[in-house]
Amino acid sequence: MVTVRSVVALAAYEGWYIYQINVHNAFLNGDLLEELVGYDPVIVLVYVDDLIVTRSNQKLFCDTRQEIQKKFKMKDLGELKFFLGIEFSRSNKGILMSQRKYALELISKSGLGGAKPTCTPLEMNQKLTSIQYDEHINNGIPEGDTILADITKCQRLVGKLLYITMTRPDLAFSVQVLSQFMHCPKKSHMEAALRMVRYINEAPGLGLLMPANDTNKLTAYCDSNWGACVVTRRSVT
């Protein structure tokens, strides 16, 4: 999925068109030519049985599609709109990637369609701990925070939350924190996961914009919290 985002970002910046092709029972292997004599470059991204083709030269795109048609049965799906649960919409500002349909299904299956949304993915100053930490530091699991009878339910939910981080970087930190406890999740971990779903419910259509303007400048943010992680005593902000 990182490759998908990179290709979409490149197409947005360069102003290339992106098309999607469904190839039936095809597994393609080959080298990607970065430079072709007489043509602008074309990128073909292979993912399962779908291809994403982005191009800046109309003739090269048509030639590429015809070559694929000679060897495989395929269906031209037109301009990229929906791919692996991700919706794509284009404007003069760039290409917006969102998972609104996936988010609404996640909210519905979690039974939180009518729940009150939250403004933060994790509760302020909440300290999630593991079973080992409770046994050695807290002298046992705190009352009311028992191990889940069905741990797979929490694991599946966190897995779904992990996938939605493809277009929701605001959830990335919270999901990776919760992922540390999936070998033996407790009630507090499940509650934290459900809170993230309620946070998504506040703006299910929120997505990631790949801008059309110059994005060569890399901007990073950092903060030091002086050992906020109760397990490792490291700065994790």
Tell whether 66 and 110 lie within a shared domain: no
Instruction: With 0.85 as the threshold, say if the pTM is over it.
Output: no
3-state secondary structure of 204: coil
Ranking 31-35, 40-44, 54-58 by mean pLDDT, the lowest is 31-35
- 65: CATH: 3.30.70
Q: Are residues 115 and 197 in the same domain?
A: yes
Rounded to an integer, the average pLDDT of 64-87 is 82
Q: How many CA atoms within 13 Å lie on the side-chain side of 31?
A: 4
Predicted pLDDT at 160: 94
Please tell me whether residues 174 and 126 are part of one structural domain. yes
Residue 213 falls inside a structural domain: no
Q: Are residues 122 and 149 in the same domain?
A: yes
User: Which of 55-59, 117-121, 209-213 has the weakest average pLDDT?
Assistant: 55-59
Evaluate whether residue 91 is within a structural domain.
Answer: no
Q: Bridge partners of 50?
A: 22, 47
pLDDT tens by residue, 133-179: 888 877 777 777 888 999 999 999 999 999 999 999 899 989 988 99
In a domain, 23, yes or no: yes
105 and 73 in a single domain? The answer is: no
Q: Could you tell me which residue, 7 or 37, shows the higher pLDDT? A: 7
The count of domains in the chain is: 2
192 and 111 within one domain: yes
Angle between helices 172-179 and 187-202 (to 10 degrees): 160
**Terminus-to-terminus CA distance in the chain, angstroms?**
25
Tell whether 55 and 110 lie within a shared domain: no
Q: Are residues 114 and 188 in the same domain?
A: yes
The range of the structural domain enclosing residue 55 comes to 2-84
Same domain flag for 130 and 58: no
Same domain, 109 and 183: yes
Q: CA 210, CA 8: separation in Å to the nearest integer?
A: 7
Inform me whether the pLDDT recorded for 85 exceeds 80: yes
pLDDT one-digit tens code per residue, 193-202: 999 999 999 9
Beta strands in 80-233 (DSSP E): 82-83, 86-91, 94-98, 207-211
What span, in angstroms and rounded, lies between the C-alpha atoms of 127 and 48? 40
Are 105 and 198 members of one domain? yes
Cα distance between residue 22 and residue 73, in whole Å = 9
Same domain, yes or no: 52 and 109: no
Answer yes or no: is 115 within a domain.
Answer: yes
Packing angle of the helix pair 187-202, 151-164 (nearest 10 deg):
30
Residue 92 lies in a domain: no
